[in-house]
Structure 1
Amino acid sequence: MHTHRLDLEDASIRDWEAVVVAVDAERGIVLDRSAFYPGGGGQPPDQGVLLWGGVRTRILGTIKGDDLYLVPHEDDPVPPPGTAVQGALDDERRTNLMRTHSGLHVLTGVVFRDFGALVTGGNMEPLTARMDFDLSEVPPDFKDRVAEAVNTEIQTDRRITVSNLPRDEAFAIPDIIRTATNLLPPDIEVVRIVDIAGLDTQADGGTHVASTALIGRMDVVKMESKGRGFRRLRVRFS
Structure 2
Amino acid sequence: MGTHHHGRTARLELDDQTLREWDALVLASGPEGIVLDRSAFYPGGGGQPPDEGVLLWQGVQTRIAGVRKGEDLELIPVEGDPIPPAGTAVTGAVEDARRTALMRTHSGLHLLCGVVFRDYGCLVTGGNMEPLTARMDFDLREVPPGFKQAVEDACNAEVEADRRIDVKELPRKEAFEIPDIIRTATNLVPPEVQDVRIVDIVGLDTQADGGTHVASTKHIGRIQVAKVENKGRGFRRLRIKISD
Distance 1:76 1:132 in 2: 39
Q: Are 2:144 and 1:139 equivalent residues in the alignment?
A: yes
- Paired residue secondary structure (1:202): strand
| Aligned-partner residue type, residue 55 of structure 2 | L
Alignment of 1:37-76 (within 5 A): 37-76=42-81
Q: Does 1:127 align with 2:132?
A: yes
Q: d(CA) in 2 for partners of 1:203 and 1:173?
A: 10
- Which secondary structure does the structure 2 equivalent of 1:129 belong to? strand
Distance in 1 of aligned mates of 2:119 and 2:145: 15
Determine if contact 2:29/2:86 at 8 Å carries over to the other structure. yes
Which residue of 2 is the match for residue 161 of structure 1? 166
Matched, 1:194 2:199: yes
Alignment counterpart, residue 36 of structure 2, candidates 26, 31, 45: 31
* Matches of 1:63 and 1:151, distance apart in 2: 35
Q: What secondary structure does 1:120 align onto?
A: strand
Deviation for aligned residue 1:75: 1.5
CA shift at 1:25, angstroms?
4.1
Partner of 1:173: 178
Superposition deviation, residue 80 in structure 1 = 0.4
Distance 2:63 2:74 in 1: 13
Give distance in 1, aligned partners of 2:85 and 2:9.
16
Counterpart amino acid of 1:12?
Answer: T
- Are 2:96 and 1:91 aligned? yes
The C-alpha deviation readout for 1:57-102, integer Å capped at 9, x for no partner, is: 0000001000100000112100001100000010000000000000
Report the equivalent of 2:24. 18
Query: Does the 8 Å contact 2:41/2:52 carry over to 1?
Result: yes
In 2: Cα distance, 1:102 partner to 1:161 partner:
11
Q: Distance in 1 between matches of 2:81 and 2:12?
A: 24
Q: Deviations over 1:153-191 (max 9, x none)?
A: 011000001000000000000000110011111100000
Instruction: Give me the TM-score of the superposition, normalised by structure 1.
Output: 0.99
Shift of the alpha carbon at 1:9?
0.5
In the alignment, residue 19 of structure 2 is paired with which amino acid? I
Q: Distance in 1 between matches of 2:97 and 2:181?
A: 30
2:84 corresponding residue in structure 1: 79
- How far apart are the structure 2 equivalents of 1:65 and 1:38? 10
Q: Name the counterpart of 1:148.
A: 153
Contact kept, 8 Å, 2:31 with 2:77, in 1: the verdict is: no
Q: Structure 1 segments of 4 or more deviating over 3 A?
A: none
Deviation at 1:24, TM superposition (A): 4.1
C-alpha distance in structure 2 between counterparts of 1:52 and 1:23, whole Å? 14
> Structure 1 regions of 5+ residues with no counterpart?
none
How do 1:100-115 residues align onto structure 2 when only pairs under 5 Å count? Answer: 100-115=105-120
- TM-score, with structure 2 as normaliser: 0.96
State the partner residue of 2:4.
none
Q: Structure 2 CA distance, aligned partners of 1:167 and 1:23?
A: 35
Output the aligned Cα RMSD: 0.6
Equivalent position SS for 1:168: helix
Letter in 2 for 1:70: L
Looking at structure 2, the residues matched to 200 and 169 of structure 1 have their Cα atoms a distance apart, in angstroms, of 17
Q: Report the Cα distance in structure 1 between the residues aligned to 2:176 and 2:202, rounded to whole angstroms.
A: 18
* TM superposition shift of 1:140: 1.6
Provide the aligned length of Structure 1 versus Structure 2: 237
Q: Which amino acid aligns with 2:11?
A: R
Q: Give the 3-state SS of the residue equivalent to 1:86 in structure 2.
A: strand
SS in 2 for 1:13: coil
